[in-house]
Amino acid sequence: MEKFDILIAGAGVTGGMIARELSRYQLTVCLLDKANDVATGATKANSGIVHGGYDPEPGTLKAQLNASGVELLFEAAKQLNVPHKRNGSMVCAFAQEENHIIDQLYERGLENGIEGLSVITGDQARELEPELSDKVTKALLVTNSGIVCPYELTIAAVGNAMDNGVELKRNFAISDIAKIGEGFVVSAADGRKVQGKYLINCAGSFADDLAAMVGDKFYQIIPRAGEYMLLDKAEGVRVSRTIFQTPGKEGKGILVTPTNHGNLLTGPTATEVEHGESTETTGAQLAYVQRMGAKSVPGVNFRQVITSFTGVRASVAGGDFIIKMSDKVDGFVHVAGIDSPGLTCCVSIAKYVLDILKNAGVQLTEKENWNGTREDMHAFAKMSIEEKNEVIKNNPSYGKIICRCETVTEGEIIAAITKNPVALDIDGVKRRTRSGMGRCQGGFCSSYVMKLIAQHTGTDMTDVTKNGAGSYMLTEKM
Ligand SMILES: Cc1cc2nc3c(=O)[nH]c(=O)nc-3n(C[C@H](O)[C@H](O)[C@H](O)COP(=O)(O)OP(=O)(O)OC[C@H]3O[C@@H](n4cnc5c(N)ncnc54)[C@H](O)[C@@H]3O)c2cc1C
């Protein structure tokens, strides 16, 4: 059985970023995930906002990690060459009786130690964002916040961790955890086993199941779905900042934001669902998203929706993050209840976990050759025509456009299939290259992407899946 110093359960942004932080040190680390790729849980379906830090209740772990997490996140995104932007945000009140909420959020932000906050009038808000509703009466302007591509951040963090020696095991659905003398034997549903001295539980919506496996389930995950609509790039210019609404009679409000890739995103709703994989979208919730999105930015053309999706928050009662060494099971670290702003806090969470391990006696000796940078996977798209011609001369696959909507070349897709963590299915290629993310949602490029995956993994096209086990695209050869 393979043995490691540290096992991490769950390769979302939390587990991925912890893996990257641990890869700095002379430790053997293995990241386990039940899926065929990294970033397939809450991490692939959220708003992608780097929250300013004015929202969490002062004194909570969320408030602390949000305040320290913003700059750490932007720094990591820069090192890893992941799409990010400090575009700022606004929380808008829509009636005089909501104005006091803006003042409360401002005060709370100050208490949390957040800089760059100011309260502005509705007219000042419209000067900054001309498409904003004329009903906006007051707003909190937040300048330290931004947007980041959550799944690209995770792919890059895991890729960087792997380049620095971390191992990733996919399709490893943890079904049993046995406590042994010094550590744990972790078993997967398919019979594979690995051993580790420490086990960090980053299983998102299923973190309570893993806690139960070691006999320390003192929390229950409450899965809460958030539905979204993603609009074509033609709509991406409606606003430059992320526009939030004050929580009111109609719920916590719906945001409207540009994305890193130029689309417009609106959502999310908040409804309790059965489990972490209840990711269906519903007509009623999407209608709510449309109505509330239009409340902030009335000019949005919802005929330009190109897809809708749902992400599931892994909330816990009390609402704070649970990050601690188990009181009952030595060596088991809980990283649970990581709902929003978990993405914003991924690096601060990782550093907090490192402190827990250090306090538990883990020797953190730095590697001499650690490299925290990763090449820009979108470098080709950013080149001038002359530079592109030069690249194509050396590697003609960069001259072949596979995804016409997002202008993705064969060279970029091959890079996604061959660089850590390699893409093994169509959605994996999509999250790494944007092939299939555009207007036609993969209608034209999917078959060619399948052919490239089959070629580079030495399999048959009938074996290529959309997103792992059972999701075959082709049933038989004619
Ligand atoms: C609708 C919505 C909007 C959000 N908006 C924002 C935002 O704008 N800004 C922000 O900062 N945060 C936001 N968040 C929160 C953020 O998305 C999460 O905090 C973050 O993605 C959590 O990452 P994670 O790695 O902890 O969990 P996940 O991404 O869910 O990863 C858990 C992983 O564990 C794996 N796993 C589960 N069970 C097992 C098992 N038995 N064996 C092996 N592997 C297993 C899963 O396959 C998965 O990959 C939002 C969340 C949602 C749902």
Strand partners, 305: 231
Mean pLDDT of 233-243: 97
> Please, where in the chain does CATH 1.10.10 lie?
379-463
| CATH code given to domain 1-85+147-221+316-374 | 3.50.50.60
Judge whether residue 443 has pLDDT over 90: no
Residue 252 · residue 246 · CB < 8 Å: no
Q: Tens digit of pLDDT for each residue in 372-416?
A: 999 999 999 999 999 999 999 999 999 999 998 899 999 999 999
Beta strands in 94-173 (DSSP E): 117-121, 138-142, 146-148, 167-169
| Any atom of ligand 1 within 6 Å of the Cβ of 17 | no
Q: Whose CA is nearest to atom 3 of ligand 1?
A: 46
Residue nearest to atom 31 of ligand 1 (CA): 12
Instruction: Count CB atoms within 10 A of the CB of residue 304.
Output: 17
Classify 95 as helix, strand or coil: coil
Is 44 a pocket residue for ligand 1 (Cβ < 6 Å)? Answer: no
Which structure tokens are listed for 45?
Answer: 């379906």
Distance, CA of 263 to CA of 238 (rounded, Å): 10
- In testing the pocket of ligand 1, which one of 7, 8, 34, 149 has its CB within 8 Å of the most ligand atoms? 34
Name the CATH architecture for the domain at 379-463: Orthogonal Bundle (1.10)
38-47, 116-125, 249-258, 465-474: which range is least confident on average? Answer: 249-258
Ligand 1 center to 147 CA (angstroms): 17
203 lines ligand 1 (CB under 6 A): yes
pLDDT for 249: 61
Ligand 1 pocket test: pick from 308, 313, 322, 467 the residue with the most ligand atoms within 8 Å of its Cβ: 313
User: Does the CB atom of residue 13 touch ligand 1 within 6 A?
Assistant: yes
12 in contact with ligand 1, CB cutoff 6 A: yes
Query: pLDDT confidence of 463, banded at 50, 70, 90?
Result: very high
Task: Please tell me the predicted confidence (pLDDT) of residue 250.
Answer: 60
Could you tell me which of 343, 339, 342, 345 has the C-alpha nearest to residue 270? 339
- Whether 430 and 467 have beta carbons less than 8 Å apart is answered as no
Element (H, E) at 70: helix 61-79
Where do you find CATH 3.30.9.10 in the chain? 89-143+223-312
| CA neighbor of 144 nearest in space, from 89, 62, 80 | 89
**CA nearest ligand 1 atom 35, residue:** 10
Which class for 274: exposed (0-12), middle (13-18), buried (19 or more C-beta within 10 A)? exposed
**Containing H/E element for 264?**
strand 264-267
Question: Residues 58-62: contacts with CB within 8 Å, 24+ apart?
Answer: 58/108, 58/111, 58/112, 60/319, 60/320, 60/321, 61/320, 61/321, 61/323, 62/319, 62/320, 62/321, 62/341, 62/345
How far is the C-alpha of 397 from the C-alpha of 416, rounded, in Å? 13
Q: What is the pLDDT of residues 275-318, one digit of tens each?
A: 999 999 999 999 999 999 999 999 999 999 999 999 999 999 99
- CATH topology for 89-143+223-312 is D-Amino Acid Oxidase; Chain A, domain 2 (3.30.9)
**What is the reported pLDDT for 40?**
98
Beta 222-231 vs 271-272: how paired, if at all?
A: antiparallel
What are the residue ranges of helices labelled H in 170-231? Answer: 207-213
**Does residue 200 have a pLDDT over 70?**
yes
Range list for CATH 3.50.50.60 in the chain: 1-85+147-221+316-374
Our answer on whether the CB atom of 464 is closer than 6 Å to any ligand 1 atom is no
Asked if residue 20 has its Cβ within 6 Å of ligand 1, the reply is: no
Question: How far is Cα of residue 310 from the mean position of the Cα atoms in its chain?
Answer: 13
Hey, what are 376's tokens? 């820009």
Distance 336 CA to ligand 1 centre (A): 10
CB 90 within 8 A of CB 129: yes
Is residue 51 flagged as an active site residue? yes
**Ligand 1 atom closest to residue 203's alpha carbon, by position in its atom list:** 34
Give pLDDT, residue 413.
96
